[in-house]
Amino acid sequence: MSAEVVERTIRAVALVVNPAAGGGKVGDVADRAQARLESHGIAVTRLSGDSAEDSLALAREAVAGDPGAGVAAVDALVVCGGDGMVSLAARATAHADVPVGIIPAGTGNDLARDYQIPLGDPEAAADVVAAGLVEVVDLGRATPDGREPQVFASVLCAGLDSKVNRRVNEMRVLSGPLRYVIAALLEFPFYRPRRFRMTFDAGLPNEETVETEVLLSAFAITRSYGGDMLIAPDADRSDGLLDVVYVLEVGRTPKLRFARHFSKIFSGRHVGLDGVESRRCRTVRIETPDVVPSDVEAFADGDAVSALPVTVEVLPGAGRILVPGR
């Protein structure tokens, strides 16, 4: 499906900064991006919360504006940080007509890669914002049982990959995508696959339940996670569907085989290998029936969502992203 692309005039933006991103060096990146935006004649309001919740509240206020006080909403919400900050912006703007601009300054920067935002060049990323080319895209929504739903912009994972994600978030050494490789090498030998029950498209004519041993699983809007691992290489961010990829585990052989082919995940050539399953759906409920309460966490856009069970669904056309010209 071809994405809808529209042009906008960008006159005023809110720039939300994650001071912890990029090993704490994001301040310089944000300064450079702000200066470039202002050189385009764009008014910049800089925001930085003390926590993710504070930053989300500030972002939502900027998007909503204050009509009673005559304060208009900004033309774009720009974030400086990694995938977690882009996810925060997606939550603040979901179903709104305010686009998200990305100044990459995180560890993996998978969303920036997928949208072809220049990496390591804040001025070039700011130029993308100023150009005002907006792509209409899908978002995802994860709803843990008994908890509030959480919108995400790239990939929700559960299994070995979410275990790796937690270790990456706790690491205080190294930087960039290398963290994911090291974390995977540390977690892989000791991770025990779990039995998953996945109910796809419940209530629809094509409803199906799959129950099997799963090593890792990804439910994707965009193609990559973990610093450009192409876990779902055929994902289309505007087709109204989740791309689901999961690795089966029956005994030890498939796990060892997957280890030998691990490097193929960076090119997407793992899809189609024996033991790697893929499909598309609109919704999926993920449970671990043999372990209650579950010890498997779901992570989305690099941040923890909840332990399973979680219901995941696609929100067609709910997002707006500022992208380079094609």
| Helix extents (H) in 171-285 | 178-187, 253-260
Spatial contact of 136 and 320, defined as CB atoms under 8 Å apart: yes
Joined tokens for residue 301: 């856009």
Distance of CA 78 to CAs 21, 33, 247, 304, 320, Å? Answer: 15, 10, 36, 23, 12
Give the Cα separation of 298 and 285 in Å (integer): 12
Give the Cα separation of 204 and 157 in Å (integer): 23
- The answer to whether residue 303 is catalytic is yes
Spatial contact of 188 and 252, defined as CB atoms under 8 Å apart: no
Distance of CA 124 to CAs 101, 138, 202, 323, Å? Answer: 12, 25, 44, 11
Q: Where does residue 161 rank: exposed (0-12), middle (13-18), buried (19+ CB within 10 A)?
A: buried
The single residue of 121, 234, 239, 303 carrying the catalytic annotation is 303
Which residues form the catalytic set? 303
